[in-house]
Structure 1
Amino acid sequence: MIQSRVHISNLREHVGRTVTVFGWVNALRLQRTMQFVIMRDNTGMVQVTHKRDNGPLEAQLEALTPESAVKITGRIVDAAQVKLGGLELVPETIEVLNPAAAPLPIDEHTGMEHRLDWRFLDVRRRPAAQLLFAVQTTLEQGMREYAYAQGATEMHTPKLMGTASESGAEVFELGYFGRRAYLAQSPQFFKQMAIAAGIEKVFEIGPVFRAEPSFTSRHATEFTGVDVELAWIDGVEDVMAFEERMLAHAIAKVADAHGDAIRERFGVDLIVPTTPFPRITMAEAHEILRKGGWDPEGIREDLDPAGERSISAHIQRATGHEFVFLTHYPASIRPFYHMRPADNPTVTVSFDLLWKGLEVTTGAQREHRHDVLLKQAAEKGMNPEPLSDYLNAFRYGCPPHGGLGLGLGRVLMVMLGLESIRDAAFLFRGPNRLTP
């Protein structure tokens, strides 16, 4: 009779029975009279215990190597002396499904860059890395739940473009049947076209490409973006309200499903944010920071990373909140399609969202009037001809709208207290990394 698989986390329910477990060899302790193997699957670890008897099982266990994929059938025994779950698996048959070469190319002391070279082993061997992707799944599920509940339509927009998106900078160029094509650095133009198509609330979770030669802990050349666009808004406040409620819902879902595990594996107490999040204008942020002595050379309109961390710390001291919306960025550093208030065209009705000092989102009300878009593009020195397909969407009754783009990896970085976005992706892509 074929034994059905039992996960290690469920072995307590099978004490006294014979079960089959699939997994990897985590560690070996081959003593003079006893052989101990720590076996691991994606739910936990169990000790396999065998007394040497010069039989075939002894030889099989002796030949095992760490990370070999194995199938072990045996009896589950209650063993209080075993620190690992108080259980033992006494083997009856062992099948090596795929032996692992020795020695392994990484261990617990291996640095990040070399770990990334062997990412499949890195993720397999570290429960924290496995947990990260479970958290990511729950986080995305929570964001989708909220978006669906608000009547949003999930879209899948092209990642190949015939013209460079937005400013035309920081895009990857590639050949396309004798022509030039570009990888989309944002679904921005496409989701605005969806608004013009009469789809009132749009969201997408998908890849984004940025040809930035940045080597910081928070930049990647390919990452997962969460993009939202909302029609018929009264103002940018509608967009910020959507995001803060979406994040609060998704974070609450993560806390409920994984809060204890996050505390154990990452040492982070995940706090579910209350809404609304604090808001502060860029001008107010500059005033607060300069009173504290912040005035970095060359930074007059935006905030540098130190400024973002400082303003977040100030807001947390003042309000107890980990999130803050920075609003009304200068028009000079925002895209041409960001709306500008009639009473102050030097700024935009836009925002960034900071979480614990890290920018995780950029958003704005978009300019939906064709003539104003042409004017603002000209001010930026942009040729409207390559933008004709995009601009046509605003010639035939496009409604007022706004939206946001959120970096999933950055959210996971802050949520789990990671030092680098490299650990927040399965296979990281940066200026110096295109493999594996």
Structure 2
Amino acid sequence: MEHSLSSRQIQQWRMAIYIIFALPGFAMATWVSRTPAIRDTLGATIAEMGWIIFGLAVGSIIGLLSASHLIASRGGRFVMMTGLAVSSAGLGIVAMSGVWLTDGITVFLGLAVFGFGNGICDVAMNVEGTAVERAAQKSLLTGFHAAYSLGTLVGAVAGSAAIQAGLSVVVHLSFAAVVVVLCAVYVYRFVPAGTGQERAADSGEPPMTARERMAVWKEPRTILIGIVVLGMSFAEGSANDWLPLAIVDGYQVSPAMGSFAFGLFVAAMTIGRAAGGRLLDRFGRVIVLRASALSAIAGLLIVISGQSFTAAAIGVVLWGLGSAFGFPVGLSAAGDDPRGVAARVGAVSTAGYAASLVGPPILGVVGDSIGLLRALIIVLIGVVVAGLLSHATRPIGARAKDTNFKA
């Protein structure tokens, strides 16, 4: 399908996917920015908020597991737009907590709806991203994920401004939900229909059955790519959840300095992803992944050593640069074969998000016993394993023959 598009149509498609990647990041940062106000409205303890937020994880996992079947039957565009609409509805439900909720049950359900929409949209937009790569004959997924990071940054800044302006939770979250829906409606026309949809005409083979889609979880290459993504996503997720606190407790600095360190991490990761396409086209997936793993390993070792805050800041930058490539490169590799692309991208996405959702709480339990800096050794081990298995991302099929997708 993508081969029949003009260069202008491909460019419009590409820009639309950049916007679609940014929208979930914007929505997620909007929710995170108002968690303190929602907690105060509910009168919830930290433990109770933990269970309420668990609704987000539940919805996300259900969405990730459902996405490949939805994409195979309805196509990526339909699932992306549905996901953005559903996540906006979930954000709207959560917004109501600022008006009339007296307990966390509806917030839990709203977050589950929000997470489900994000989950199916995430897989669909990555499937769409691999299709744009094939059409444009360029490595683009790292850039798309940079757009997600940029959307997160915009959402965080907008959240801070909304709080400073005294906007209520209901107004802020409702406005954000409307923005997401309007942007989705605008870019809809630039996205071709049917990407990822299983049809016999796409490959000359019959479309995958539901059993075959589930069987991709047993494929050796998919399993290895999933482990690579799991290890590198754990490195990213652990920083998102624990880096500020690890810096504050480990180096005895102020919370502001901890936030500054986290800002360095996000900036380094965003810059790495923005430059990732050119690096991948020049050096190939395996070399870039091995270099990024070495960067993350060096950064983690510096941070764990606890020598000084200045040294730790350098380590955080290396850690952020190293964490930039694993997830998008793994998803790109999972999408090499057009037949079953939704199932494989869904499986790898699930591995990555499982690491991001489940790994950090485990790190917190271990860190409670031995300290967060020492607990980061678990993250270090995951990155080492990911680096050792990076050869699994070598292109296969048509991409292996294409000089624009080096091994």
Q: TM-score by structure 1 length?
A: 0.23
RCO higher in structure (CA 8 A, sep ≥6): 2
Q: Which has the higher helix share?
A: 2
Q: Which has the higher strand share?
A: 1
If you compute each CA radius of gyration, which structure gives the higher value, 1 or 2?
1
